[in-house]
């Protein structure tokens, strides 16, 4: 059974597709979460500040010792932050997933939902783990790690385009009894990211840089949502989709049938139906990846890849710029589409106040 009902919103030019209705308990959970985040941040800041020492006098050896102490303290603070975040996340998921209308295991999912989940869970029998990959959350690098662990790649720094299918084992390829065994005995993990940062990354990468996506999605988006198109029948290339047009497209799409790059993380990995032993954060990628590698017993020489030099990070300023470029009504309709990602994975809702956008 799906968590939310659907209703239709009428707009000029026709009827908008299905839009999620958000139950009161979910809105309340989101508000409760934001209070937890504020308290959590204040607590970590207090712990960190009270632990700081006065810098020693300038000098070679003492200066080096001070730098090492500071680095250790920074790592310790991040470790505390990660542990608190995991605890908050676990409690939030436990509370929200205990609702009667939420799925409680893999087999209670509707067939299309179960198919999506199984197609996104990668298996490694040698080290006994399951990894649910989420596009735009470092999944290419995790796939490189899996290929190194199964011997298909020599090391994670091997150059070349990533093949997202070959030399990988998907849970969808296994029989029910084989799936049940691995769900019961294997270490299960996934990684999540701020929903709006992930969405913006997908928009800039797929519709801004990849011709195949421009032809498949960009052309259709422009045909459906661009007003005042030229009347000279000039070809539409799909390489200039605006963020507002992209959001219009998302609002008319059913979350369960979206492309995986902008499908909500909840729909991809179903954290209520599959209990994860660890949910890492893109925002703490290096530290959380190292923790997972230790947990699965990966060889010491296997490291998580560093970000490529050409990588364009999505900064808070970038998110603010794009979100504030949207009409307020459009933005308010977009956030409910990803409310489970915000709530379950403990991400604060973005500030959509008009005054904030004018800053």
Residues 165 and 209 in one domain: no
Quick count: other Cβ atoms within 10 Å of Cβ 221? Answer: 21
pLDDT at residue 311 tops 60: yes
Considering only residues 96 and 48, tell me which one the structure prediction assigns the higher pLDDT: 96
Residues 37 and 93 in one domain: yes
* pLDDT (mean) for 296-303: 94
Rounded CA gap, 340 and 22, in Å?
A: 9
Q: Is 1 within the bounds of a domain? A: no
pLDDT at residue 288 tops 60: yes
Rounded CA gap, 250 and 329, in Å?
A: 14
Kindly indicate the confidence band of residue 43, based on its pLDDT and cuts at 50, 70 and 90. Answer: very low
Query: CA torsion 301→304→308→312, rounded to 10°?
Result: -160
Residues 245 and 276 in one domain: no
Question: What is the span of the domain harbouring residue 285?
Answer: 106-194+269-295
Tell which of 62, 97, 132 closes a domain. 97
pLDDT score, position 323: 93
CB-based contacts of 68, cutoff 8 Å, min separation 6: none
* pLDDT (mean) for 40-47: 38
Residues 38 and 78 in one domain: yes
Considering only residues 52 and 122, tell me which one the structure prediction assigns the higher pLDDT: 122
* pLDDT (mean) for 67-83: 66
Residues 188 and 283 in one domain: yes
Q: What is the pLDDT of residues 76-90, one digit of tens each?
A: 666 777 788 888 888
Residues 289 and 330 in one domain: no
Q: Is 3 within the bounds of a domain? A: no
pLDDT at residue 151 tops 70: yes
Tell which of 97, 128, 145 closes a domain. 97
Tell me if the pTM is above 0.85: no
Q: Is 48 within the bounds of a domain? A: yes
pLDDT at residue 161 tops 90: no
String of b and e for 142-172 (b: at least 16 CB within 10 Å)?
A: bbbbbbbbbeebeebeeeeeeeeeeebeebe
Residue 37 class from Cβ within 10 Å (0-12 exposed, 13-18 middle, 19+ buried)?
middle
Rounded CA gap, 194 and 205, in Å?
A: 16
Residues 184 and 321 in one domain: no
Q: Is 344 within the bounds of a domain? A: yes
Q: Is 226 within the bounds of a domain? A: yes
Beta strands in the chain (DSSP E): 6-11, 14-20, 121-124, 129-132, 169-170, 187-192, 278-281
pLDDT score, position 34: 46
Q: Is 310 within the bounds of a domain? A: no
pLDDT score, position 233: 74
Residues 167 and 285 in one domain: yes
Residues 223 and 176 in one domain: no
Query: How many structural domains comprise the chain?
Result: 3
Residues 173 and 200 in one domain: no
Flag the least confident range among 2-11, 207-216, 311-320.
2-11
Kindly indicate the confidence band of residue 73, based on its pLDDT and cuts at 50, 70 and 90. Answer: low
Residues 341 and 202 in one domain: yes
* pLDDT (mean) for 349-358: 74
Q: Is 17 within the bounds of a domain? A: no
Q: Is 14 within the bounds of a domain? A: no
Residues 157 and 278 in one domain: yes
Q: What is the pLDDT of residues 225-260, one digit of tens each?
A: 998 776 667 889 999 999 999 999 999 999 999 999
Mean pLDDT of the chain, nearest integer: 81
* pLDDT (mean) for 60-80: 61
Tell which of 97, 125, 160 closes a domain. 97
pLDDT score, position 347: 95
């Amino acid at each position: 059974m799906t968590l939310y009902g659907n209703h239709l919103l009428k707009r000029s030019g026709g009827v908008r597709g299905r839009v999620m209705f958000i139950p009161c308990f979910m809105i309340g959970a989101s508000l409760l979460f934001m209070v937890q985040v504020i308290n959590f941040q204040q607590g970590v800041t207090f712990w960190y500040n009270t632990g700081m020492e006065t810098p020693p006098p300038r000098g070679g050896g003492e200066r080096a010792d001070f730098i090492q102490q500071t680095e250790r303290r920074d790592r310790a603070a991040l470790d505390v932050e990660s542990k608190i975040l995991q605890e908050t996340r676990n409690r939030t998921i436990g509370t929200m997933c205990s609702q009667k209308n939420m799925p409680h295991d893999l087999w209670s999912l509707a067939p299309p939902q179960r198919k999506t989940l199984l197609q996104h869970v990668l298996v490694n029998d040698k080290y006994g783990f399951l990894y649910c990959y989420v596009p735009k959350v470092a999944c290419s690098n995790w796939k490189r790690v899996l290929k190194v662990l199964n011997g298909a790649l020599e090391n994670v720094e091997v150059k070349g385009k990533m093949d997202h299918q070959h030399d990988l084992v998907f849970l969808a390829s296994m029989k029910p009894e084989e799936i049940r065994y691995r769900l019961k005995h294997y270490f299960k993990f996934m990684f999540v990211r701020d929903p709006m940062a992930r969405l913006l990354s997908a928009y800039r990468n797929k519709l801004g840089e990849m011709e195949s996506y421009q032809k498949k999605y960009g052309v259709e988006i422009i045909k459906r949502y661009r007003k005042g198109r030229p009347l000279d029948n000039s070809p539409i290339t799909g390489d200039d989709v605006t963020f507002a047009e992209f959001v219009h497209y998302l609002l008319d799409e059913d979350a369960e049938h979206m492309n995986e790059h902008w499908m909500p993380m909840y729909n991809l990995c179903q954290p209520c139906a599959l209990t994860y032993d660890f949910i890492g954060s893109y925002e703490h990628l290096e530290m959380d990846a190292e923790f997972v590698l230790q947990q699965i017993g990966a060889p010491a020489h296997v490291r998580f890849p560093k970000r490529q030099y050409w990588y364009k990070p999505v900064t808070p300023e970038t998110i603010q710029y794009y979100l504030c470029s949207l009409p307020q009504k459009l933005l308010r309709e977009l956030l409910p589409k990803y409310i489970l990602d915000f709530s379950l994975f403990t991400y604060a809702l973005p500030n959509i106040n008009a005054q904030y956008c004018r800053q």
